[in-house]
Amino acid sequence: MAIEIFMPALSPTMEKGTLAKWLVKEGDKVESGDVIAEIETDKATMEVESIDDGTVAKILVEEGTDDVPVGKIIAMLAEEDEDVSDVKVPTDDKKAEAAPKAEETDDAEEEKQEEVKPSSASSEKKPEGKPSKAEGERIKASPLAKRIASQEGLDLKALDGTGPNGRIVKRDIEAALEKGVGKADEATPAAKEGAKAPAAAASAPEYGPYDDIPYHEERLSNIRKTIARRLTESKQHVPHFYLTIECELDNLLAQRKVLNEKLADSGVKLSVNDFIIRATALALKKVPAANVQFAGDKMYWYERADISVAVAIEGGLVTPVVRGADGMGLSDISKAVKDLATRARDGKLAPEDYAGGTFSISNLGMYGIKEFGAVINPPQGAILAVGAGEQRPVVRDGALAVATVMSCTMSCDHRAVDGAVGAEFLAAFKSYVEDPITMLL
């Protein structure tokens, strides 16, 4: 019997992906564990392995296809004793039964008969021209519909459900968004903060190319689309402010040289960035008010420093996470960063490698950038932009001297991190960088 190969869910939140490339063709024999395709998600390009032995009988989704729903049949595999010509493509009904699409999982959730009460904030004002449900009446909506409505600031009371027993489902939310129906004038703080940027980004003007300048067009990858959406969201919804501090690096560079000589036989070579990650993690431990996240009507104070490190890859930027960096030594940080950066550039990061993170670092010093301000990576509360270390004149005890100086700029979410907290964090960071022996204690 033919084996169906489905579009996999490569992360807990993935609903669709791009089938970037087939690494096999019809007629090829594959074994369990063989890499057969590359799937591009909004975070990275990941490999898909065959889970069975057999022959590729039919490829049903061409490479380069965008927005392939999780659960869709993308190929058929003939078993070892099966003739490829006998493999039949399932009918639409069979597909739906065997592998429900992301949109269809909504109906399955509805059978749980979960109910949600209208929020007090969204009940204060009803959109005009739409009959609302009676005050206090319970509203039936699937979990997916609830989440999207919360993100988009929709008033569920103003919508009619087309699901079982009048339940509001995903298609009802999408129809309301298209028609502009159900937008609550007074959304809850959580809804306002959770509102995603695609709607705002979609309203931005789209400019065509200049007629008199040669150009070529390149379709955006899922990674670039996600970067555009998230950073637009960040600058639109997160009130940024910036603090810059200068750190002298001479002691750190000397200590790095000594440590690398001692580690020569271990294969570990410490970089300046490894020291910066360690100093950042220790500063967050010393100033926990900087290791926070704003969440509408509450704040999350994180008790561990998970540092997201920006890594440039072809076509975009990813931020793999060094987890528990405050409890790691410099050698462990160095090994972790090298492994994450290598897998990021090879497109082999797993979802758990880049999910989460409590604070970000973006280092452009290796490109000679003296100073810059980075955009906060939501929902984090801050990001540290690190510039190049360079020889600059400094004054010591009233006399002019030369030192290696590095400028670091902290971008803060003013809802979560006040100026005094940011300054306290930078002072702690500076003390570790300028006296690196304290990082080893």
Main-chain phi, psi angles of 18, to 5 degrees: -105, 125
Cα–Cα separations (whole angstroms), residue 130 to 71, 133, 155, 188:
36, 10, 11, 20
Asked if 93 contacts 36 with a C-beta cutoff of 8 angstroms, the reply is no
**CB atoms inside a 10 Å sphere around CB 373:** 15
Q: Given the residues 216, 237, 240, 414, select the one marked as catalytic.
A: 414
What single-letter DSSP state applies at residue 130? S
Q: Would you call 414 a catalytic residue per the annotation?
A: yes
**CB atoms inside a 10 Å sphere around CB 188:** 17
Cα–Cα separations (whole angstroms), residue 40 to 5, 205, 354, 389:
17, 27, 15, 36
**Summary count for the chain: helices (H), strands (E):** 12, 20
Strand partners, 68: 17
Query: Who's near 381: CB < 8 A, 6+ residues apart?
Result: 290, 291, 292, 293, 294, 359, 412, 413, 416, 417
Active site residues: 414
